[in-house]
Amino acid sequence: MNRPSLLLLLPLALVACADKSIGLGLGAEPDARLTADLRTWPCASTDTGGGPSTQWEGVFAYDLSLEYAPDALTDHGFPESGCTVTADVFPTAAGDGGTNLPDVDEPAWSNGSMTGSMPHVSTGFYAKSVLANQHSCLEATDLLGEGTLLDAAGAFTGAQTPAPGEYEGVEVTGDVDPVTGIRFGADVSVAWTANGWNKSWVQVRREKGDQLLQAVTCNTTGSTSFDIDSTVWSLLSDALEVDVTNLYVAVENEGETTMSDGQIIETTTRAMHVAVVQDN
């Protein structure tokens, strides 16, 4: 029996292995996600001449996060439409596919006059609380500038979150306690004035201590108001013992960038009115 020589088999084996391998993060799925979160609270001034008061969204907190999970980013469960029980929309880890950025200890970032780095929190996850408990009436979107830029993040250097739109004010109608939030089952209406954002959502969050126990997120894209009623409450459990039933009214802009090595990064800028502003 004639057998192929070892010299012939070796190139064939190498070709087969090459066909089965894909470079890290070079598949079709996104590999990283950069998120800039601005939490806001209501600010107002009264016209001393007796005219109407002016209301706007001030700065309460500003957080950054970077997730790296090549071709395996976690889906945070944002609904395509309507309301659904969701996992937390604020990333705290890179998920099962998380991988540390090669040769990067702490990705560096900048945003207008602010600069800094994001500490390594866990495998593939980097985060920074840039501002916390500010209670500032600096206009929220002024702080966001043109977006947050990664100045030194390996292959993702140069990626930037989208510029914000305008987030002028949020009006909440109904019984919302400044400490405990919404009473379970109560009807609450929210309305907001915002322009230049491609998505909006409302979230009811049931929290105990620093832990989120349950959340319902409602896609409100294309609307400027929303009613929290029995439809929302039916998705939540009043059996849970919570400290706060909070309310977030959010707008966001999303983008996606393919870097020079072919890896893909999602970029998100979000501004979120928080009904119960806590000093954590």
What are the tens digits of pLDDT across the range 77-130? Answer: 788 899 999 877 888 999 999 999 999 999 999 998 799 999 999 999 999 999
Longest distance between any two alpha carbons in the chain, whole Å: 105
Q: Is residue 54 part of a domain?
A: yes
Q: Is residue 60 part of a domain?
A: yes
User: 32-45 and 264-274: which strand pairing?
Assistant: parallel
DSSP H/E element including 91: none
Those residues with Cβ within 8 angstroms of residue 2's Cβ, 6 or more apart along the chain or in another chain: none
The size of the chain, in residues, is: 280
Q: Is residue 14 part of a domain?
A: no
Average pLDDT score over residue span 136-144: 83
Whether 31 contacts 73, CB under 8 Å: yes
CA separation for the pair 98, 95 (Å, rounded): 5
Q: Is residue 89 part of a domain?
A: yes
DSSP 8-class letter at 13? H
pLDDT tops 80 at residue 280: no
pLDDT tens by residue, 206-239: 999 888 999 999 999 999 999 999 999 999 999 9
Which amino acid, 151? D
Q: Is residue 134 part of a domain?
A: yes
Sign of CA dihedral 122, 248, 208, 178: positive
Q: Is residue 264 part of a domain?
A: yes
Q: Is residue 9 part of a domain?
A: no
User: 199-208 and 211-219: which strand pairing?
Assistant: antiparallel
Confidence tier at 52 by pLDDT (50, 70, 90): low
Confidence tier at 24 by pLDDT (50, 70, 90): low
- The tokens describing 46, both together, are 């009264």
Q: Is residue 135 part of a domain?
A: yes
| pLDDT value, residue 87 | 72
| pLDDT value, residue 21 | 35
| pLDDT value, residue 27 | 65
CA separation for the pair 247, 63 (Å, rounded): 18
Residues of the domain holding 120: 23-274
pTM here is 0.85
- The tokens describing 104, both together, are 């990067």
Which amino acid, 96? D
| pLDDT value, residue 17 | 37
Phi-psi region of 97 (alpha: psi -120 to 50; beta: other; left: phi over 0): alpha
Out of 8-17, 126-135, 254-263, 271-280, pick the least confident: 8-17
23: number of CA atoms within 13 Å, CB side?
A: 5
CA separation for the pair 72, 52 (Å, rounded): 51
Give me the number of domains the chain comprises.
Answer: 1
Count CB atoms within 10 A of the CB of residue 264. Answer: 22
